[in-house]
Structure 1
């Protein structure tokens, strides 16, 4: 039986963090239900109070291949290192300096979007290809791989 994967991210601001991850991954905002033009219109029609409109957000792969990413508002701040993290495959098939140059270029793009760069790990043959550790705007660690 085939399973569908969804990644859920706890967030202080699901809309802003969803916009960040959509830009990183080339995703888009999930369409609102019931033929509504916007999510705010749909939420208003459902009777959701305006102060709850940013309780959740979902982004999807426009090609329908990648997992849906659901962002949910939580009251507590992030505490400690992630036990599970996202690897953004920014240089598949590349090795050595061409790989690291591609990762550096993507790192610069993501910093402009609000990411922070933490550390670069150099390639260590035979198996270590090198990667860059970053955080999203709310401090969740992820790797450029």
Structure 2
């Protein structure tokens, strides 16, 4: 596929370094309306696929991935276990579009509903900007269960 200038358009995968790929995949699948990536063709479960590859039980949470629901488009999101913990603010973050097209009180109410749902899943609110602040229509800053920042926008 090429863009209007003739350059090749490339697919993007978003990768999270984390301590618990399975838990992070579950959280972000719920946050984004995604689903866990199904096992490869020919396997009913990931355990069956990993058994066939000889992956030991203690290494089965080293990686996980989520994909858009059937019929939707979006990047694959990949989670990989790393030994070090998060030590600084993200330089890149996701904006989860929870209230597109809404303004004012209706926007902030919808963002608050999304916040409450994600807090119940293990996220934490770290900041709130009302309409007009930061030259925006209002947004809520959150962190996922492992402390990665994202915004509800």
> TM-score band (shorter)?
over 0.9
Tell me, yes or no, if structure 1 residue 51 matches structure 2 residue 58.
Answer: yes
Name the residue aligned to 1:74: 82
Name the residue aligned to 1:110: 118
CA distance in 2, matches of 1:82, 1:123: 24
Give the alignment's TM-score, normalised by structure 1.
0.96
Name the residue aligned to 1:16: 23
Give the alignment's TM-score, normalised by structure 2.
0.91
Matched residue of 1:71: which SS?
A: strand
The alpha carbon displacement at 1:127 in A equals 4.4
Picking from 99, 123, 134, the partner of 2:107 is 99
The alpha carbon displacement at 1:64 in A equals 3.9
Tell me, yes or no, if structure 1 residue 138 matches structure 2 residue 146.
Answer: yes
Extract unaligned runs of 5+ from structure 1: none
Aligned length: 145
CA distance in 2, matches of 1:122, 1:49: 49
- Alignment RMSD: 1.3
The alpha carbon displacement at 1:35 in A equals 1.5
Extract unaligned runs of 5+ from structure 2: 1-7
Name the residue aligned to 1:128: 136
The alpha carbon displacement at 1:126 in A equals 10
CA distance in 2, matches of 1:58, 1:30: 6
The alpha carbon displacement at 1:41 in A equals 1.3
Matched residue of 2:11: which SS?
A: coil
